[in-house]
Structure 1
C-alpha cells in the first residue's frame, strides 16, 4: 500500500516546483522531503522526479501518480468533512448558494430552522445568479445550490450536477396601479403589445425569457429597461415607465403602487430546484438542508393555494 503522506509530499513538490518550496509549505526540512520522495520511488520501482540545479520536474510516471493522488486526497478531504458532521451534526460546515428571490424566502426559512437545530455547523451563504455559482458547486467549492429554469429557456447544463425539483411557479405581470388593465382579473400578453418592458440584463441566463414568452403570443416586446433586481423592477413599474414579469417568490414584498395579475391563457412558468454534485454521497449537513428546503417549498406552495 502506498503511504498517503508520501503521495501528498510528491504533489506538493509538483505544485511548488522545488524541494525547498515544498518543504516550506509542508513545514518539513528539505532533507525530509527528499527522503519521502526517495522512499516513494523505491515503493513504486520508478523514477518520479528529475532534479535540476535549481528546480525539480516530474517524470511521466510521477505525473501519472500525482494525477491519481489529487483524486485520493480530494476523497479523503470529503471523508473528513463528512465524519465531522456525522456525530449528530455537531460540527462541520455547509456552503450554500442561492439566487435572490429564493434566498429571501425558501433559503431564509431553511437556514433559520437549520441553525436552530444545529447551531454548531458553520453556515456560509453566497448570493448571485446560477450561472455565476454552479461551476463553483461542480468544483467542490460549494455543497449545494438553488437554481431555476424558465419555459422556453433551457437550464444551465453540467453533467456532474444533479437537480431535484422543489416547486413550479407561474410568472405574473406587474402593472402600475393606474394602468388601463390594472382593474382586470387577469391580463393577456397580447393586450400589452407596444408597452415598454422591463427585462433582465444580458448578464442573466434568462435574458431572453420575456422575448420568448411574448413571441408565443405573436409579438416582439419593446424593451425599455434591463434590470436584474426584482425590487428595482417593481419600483420602475410603480413609477409608470414599464411593465414586467415577476415570479411568485419575489412577491413576499410588493410595492404599494403595483398591480400584479395572472397571465392568460397560458401563463409562463419558472421551476426552482436544488442542485448537488451527481456522483458524491451527500453529507449529513447537505441531507438535512435538502429536507428543510423541501419543507420550505411545500409550505410556500400550500400558502399560495
Structure 2
C-alpha cells in the first residue's frame, strides 16, 4: 500500500524540480527526501523519478502517481477537517487564500468578525493570485479561495469540481497621474485614451483583470499599448504616478490610493466589472467553520458594497 506521507514528498519534488528544493519546502533533509522517494518506488514497484545533473524528471509512472496525489491529499485534508469539526466551532482550523486587493479590503474585517464570533477556530490566510489560489484549493492546502470572474450570472467557475459563491461585483475605474491633461475631467470615455500607454495585471490573458481590461479596450475600438505588466496595484500606482502610463484599477484596490493620483469613472456605458467569488471544492465537506466563514465573507462584502467608494467623482 502506498504511504500518503511519501505521496506528499513526491508531489513536492515534482513541484519544485529538485530534491533539495523539496527538502527545504518540507523542512526535511535532502537525504530524507531521497529515502522517502526510494521507499515509495519500492511500494509502487516502478521507478518514479529520473535523476540527472540538471535535476529530476518524473517517469510516466511518476507523473501518473502525482496526478492522483493532489486528489488523495485533498480528500485526506477533508477527512481531517471533518473530524476536527466534531467539536463544532469550538475548535478546528480554516485556511483561506485571497488575492492582494481582497487581502487589503475584505479579509481584515472578515477575519476580525470571524474571530470575534468563533475564537476557538484557528485561521490562516495565504496571499495568492486567483490561479494560484485555486491550485492550493485543489491540492487541499486551503479550504476557501477568493477568486475573480468576469460578470454574468450566475457565479461560476471554469471547472465542475469547484463551487463559486458571489461576494461582490467590483467596478473598474481609470487611474491617472494628477498632472495628466485629462485629470480635470470627472468622467472619461475609454476611446479617448486609445493612444495612452497602459499598465494592468500580468501579461497573461488568463489573468482575470487583464482579460476584463482587454475586452473593454477592444469594445472601445482599440488594442491597448502596454508599458509594463505588473501584478500588484500598489506597484502600478507608483508607475502611474511617475508618468509611465495609466491604468484600470478596481474599487477594492482604492483602499490605499496615493495622493498624487486621480481616479475617474467611465463617461458612458457600464464600467467594466470583475466579480469576486469565494470558491470551495464542490464535493468537499462543508464544515461548520467553513460555512461560518462563507457567511461572514458575504456579510462583509455586502457592507463594503453598500459604502462603495465615491473617489471616482472627486476632483
Count how many residue pairs are aligned between Structure 1 and Structure 2: 248
User: Does the alignment pair 1:198 with 2:199?
Assistant: yes
Residues of 2 paired with 1:234 and 1:13: CA distance? 45
Unpaired stretches in structure 2, ≥5 consecutive residues: 8-41, 46-69, 310-315
Name the CA shift for 1:11/1:225 in 2 (closer, same or farther; >3 Å): closer
Deviation (angstroms), 1:140: 2.0
Unpaired stretches in structure 1, ≥5 consecutive residues: 1-9, 17-54, 59-69
Question: Deviations 1:176-217 (Å, cap 9, x if unpaired)?
Answer: 111111111111011112111112222562334433211111
Question: Deviations 1:261-285 (Å, cap 9, x if unpaired)?
Answer: 1113221111100001112231011
Residues of 2 paired with 1:14 and 1:98: CA distance? 27
Contact 2:94 2:143 in 1 (8 A): yes
Contact 1:198 1:224 in 2 (8 A): yes
User: Does the alignment pair 1:280 with 2:290?
Assistant: no
Q: Note the 1:244-283 alignment, pairs <5 A.
A: 244-266=247-269, 267-283=271-287
What residue is the counterpart of 1:304 in the other structure?
A: 308
Residues of 2 paired with 1:178 and 1:72: CA distance? 56
Contact 2:133 2:147 in 1 (8 A): no
Contact 1:130 1:147 in 2 (8 A): yes
User: Does the alignment pair 1:188 with 2:189?
Assistant: yes
Deviation (angstroms), 1:83: 3.6
Q: Note the 1:145-160 alignment, pairs <5 A.
A: 145-150=145-150, 157-160=158-161
TM-score by length of 2: 0.71
SS in structure 2 of the partner of residue 89 of structure 1: helix
Question: Deviations 1:50-97 (Å, cap 9, x if unpaired)?
Answer: xxxxx6667xxxxxxxxxxx9999767634422423424121110100
Residues of 2 paired with 1:222 and 1:172: CA distance? 18
User: Radius of gyration: which is bigger?
Assistant: 1
Q: Note the 1:58-97 alignment, pairs <5 A.
A: 78-97=78-97
What residue is the counterpart of 2:164 in the other structure?
A: 163
Residues of 1 paired with 2:151 and 2:249: CA distance? 14
Residues of 2 paired with 1:106 and 1:13: CA distance? 36
Deviation (angstroms), 1:298: 0.6
User: Does the alignment pair 1:226 with 2:258?
Assistant: no
